[in-house]
Chain A
């Protein structure tokens, strides 16, 4: 198994903006090709179809998944079935381990078990699709049950996609981040925790107290145990682009 697309700020040791700008600019090194005239027509026709609710395949699938998820979530809220607190390793590339042993897709992850990723990525799905967490390479997290779906992020990056109304939290040594919205990304850093709120709201709690963060879209903060979330340098979309979020949200469906 392998992970594609290692052109990231972390890998290259560049500031995130430099990484994105450089990657885009180097696109000019590709052999120049003139797109067929029909492509512009296709794109513009796609805009018009948006008005008529006709969407490209990936959006139709996402909409269908959302609808299925909403229905499933409603049922689960009313009557949680057996295993509602269970987590499953739904996808993995590279060296993915659970409690240090090689893991396999479909493996159940019990509360207290540690998922670690080396050289790939792993997606853990909670309760048949109410929340999904993608651990990037180098990440290590402990899955915990209880009243909420919890992930304790010890190392690396974690992107979360959460169905509305799902009790889902990510913990680091700096504090606890609870989803009030849907999608967010956390990166465990040596001195603090970086959080990017992709959409919706988050509640962040630590020694500093408790605060709620809202975002217009991909707004980022850092926090430590003693210092409340404050804005860091502008964040990039590295590791949590809309495409990556969509691919994670694809796991938000009944397994």
Chain B
């Protein structure tokens, strides 16, 4: 958040850049990549566990964003939410294709190690990251595990339940409770 707790400035910048991209400004789109490329790549690596596939998913998401930038409406959501929604769809497509091919092997070993916290990040991203981690850390461990598997693993609730060895109803309840708690804690970021 901004020091005054308001809407992150990076989001205002992002919205402006998307508007310029919609009019064909490739340089603005490059700056949009600079703002969000790291986040999208991190999420793609977390979801797909394979660096090459993550690159492909991020590229697809950005090219889709370029094509659909005219449809972006800042009143409906932030640039970050818009881009991550696009990316998650691309990652889920890849996970589904992987599942359909029966290819379950982990390619996590191909990933480079994560960078140290704060390294190569803008201060605003660093602050947000700390806020999110704090909010996640405040969750009971069982809720946190369910959120991570659902959000990053791209798993259905039934799959999360099977993986965690918990009843489906318990997992659903945990996810709802965790989501509500996280939203209450983090809502000021997108709804100042």
Contacts and interface: CB of A to CB of B under 8 A. Distances in A.
Contacts of B50: none
A59 B58 CA distance: 15
Contacts of B142: none
B132 A29 contact: yes
B135 to A, nearest CB: 9
Interface string A15-37: 00111111111111111111110
Interface residues of A, number: 55
A18 B179 CA distance: 9
Q: Tell me what chain B mostly uses at the interface: helix, strand, loop, or mixed.
A: helix
B52 to A, nearest CB: 10
Contacts of A119: 156, 158
Interface in A14-71: 14, 17-36, 39-40, 42-44, 46-48, 50, 56, 58-59
B15 interface: no
A32 B117 contact: yes
Contacts of A27: 39-40, 42-43, 46, 80, 84
B68 interface: yes
A84 interface: no
Contacts of A33: 38, 41-42, 45, 111-112, 114-115
Given A35-B55, A36-B51, 6 more contacts: A11-B172, A18-B187, A26-B136, A27-B42, A27-B84, A34-B38
Interface of A: 2-7, 11-14, 17-36, 39-40, 42-44, 46-48, 50, 56, 58-59, 119, 216-218, 234-237, 241-244, 247
